[in-house]
Amino acid sequence: TYEVLGQINPAIVCVALTGYGREGPGARLPGYDALIQAESGWASLTGAPDGPPTKSSLSLADYIAGLTAVLGLTVGLFDARRTGIGRDVDTNLYDSALAMLSYPATWFLSSGFMTSRLEMSAHPSVVPFQFFATLDGYVAIASPKEKFFRSLADGMDLGDIGADPRFTDFEARGRHRSELLAILSTRFAERTTAEWLERLRGRVPIAPVRSLEEALDVDDLRERSMLAEYEHPAFGAVRSVGLPLTMGGFEPTYTPGPALGADGDAILAELGYDKAAIARLRADGAFGSGTATAVVVDGVEPV
């Protein structure tokens, strides 16, 4: 903590990232993404209306907590550079997940309104703002402005619904959600995803619902500078998703992470341990066995 380390370096910033916080009744509880998505209410908002609560396939609670910790660290370092004084920064997976509840939390805490799960990942208050089935797949449509709904109606050759009293504004479309979605769903099912993209892109916020394989097209990733490629000493050529930041004067390079304990001697030397002391610590088992354990899933060993 800063109380201890600040005596050595007053400008140090100490970041703690735990499951439920360092203090309180949850301080000693394990924190894993699935548990956090369940307990924070995320899972209750996800999935089909008549289905069970659903966890995201991605570890979003883990990711958000990591980003929150980095943000806190950055603010702490900026202030320490200005004042010369560091601090403790404490965050946790659970509070980070609660913060992501955003407007559904505001609605409930302010008025008691409870949002519910809707078909096709629909927005709780804006219509249409959801997925639609096409002749060969799905598209996502967003109409958060009146002009987008008018453009959608025109692009789908449904211009008459723009003048229909049931659909003239957000409030009316919300009241007549089922009627409007029935009309749109029928029309979307008449053409392929590619055809709808050609007709609507540039006029209406629309995107194809792609598979993971489609989203990770190597040529597309490379064109967007989002492909990380490097040689791994154990696994050979490795490809992954790159850095989602573009900064002037900076070009990211990608290398494999060090093997377990590979940098240990260098770090201990920086801390003042000589080779003999490091050897004694290693002989006493202070660094464990030094052997990493890999988990193999379906015959594929992770990098």
Task: With beta carbons less than 8 A apart as the criterion, state whether 274 and 254 touch.
Answer: no
Does 278 lie in the same domain as 248? no
Q: Which pLDDT belongs to residue 297? A: 45
Mean pLDDT of the chain: 94
Does 167 lie in the same domain as 142? yes
Angle 18-20-25 from CA coordinates, rounded to 5° = 130
Does 269 lie in the same domain as 251? no
Does 201 lie in the same domain as 223? no
Query: Does the bond joining 128 to the residue before it have cis omega, within 30 degrees of 0?
Result: yes
Task: With beta carbons less than 8 A apart as the criterion, state whether 12 and 85 touch.
Answer: no
Domain that holds residue 67: 2-111
Greatest distance between any 2 Cα atoms in the chain: 85
Please report which helix (H) or strand (E) contains residue 147, including its range: helix 146-155
- Residues 4-51 have pLDDT tens digits of 999 999 999 999 999 999 999 899 999 999 999 999 999 999 999 999
Does 86 lie in the same domain as 14? yes
Q: What is the mean pLDDT of residues 154-165?
A: 92
Question: 111, 139, 165 — which closes off a domain?
Answer: 111
Task: With beta carbons less than 8 A apart as the criterion, state whether 101 and 30 touch.
Answer: no
Q: Which pLDDT belongs to residue 295? A: 43
CB atoms under 10 Å from CB of 89, counted, come to 20
Does 226 lie in the same domain as 194? no
Name the pTM for this structure.
0.85
Q: Pairing state of beta strands 236-241 and 129-133?
A: unpaired
**Model confidence band, residue 164 (pLDDT cutoffs 50, 70, 90):** very high
Question: 181, 209, 237 — which closes off a domain?
Answer: 209
**Model confidence band, residue 261 (pLDDT cutoffs 50, 70, 90):** confident
Total tally of structural domains belonging to the chain? 4
Instruction: Read off φ and ψ for residue 77, nearest 5 degrees.
Output: -65, -40
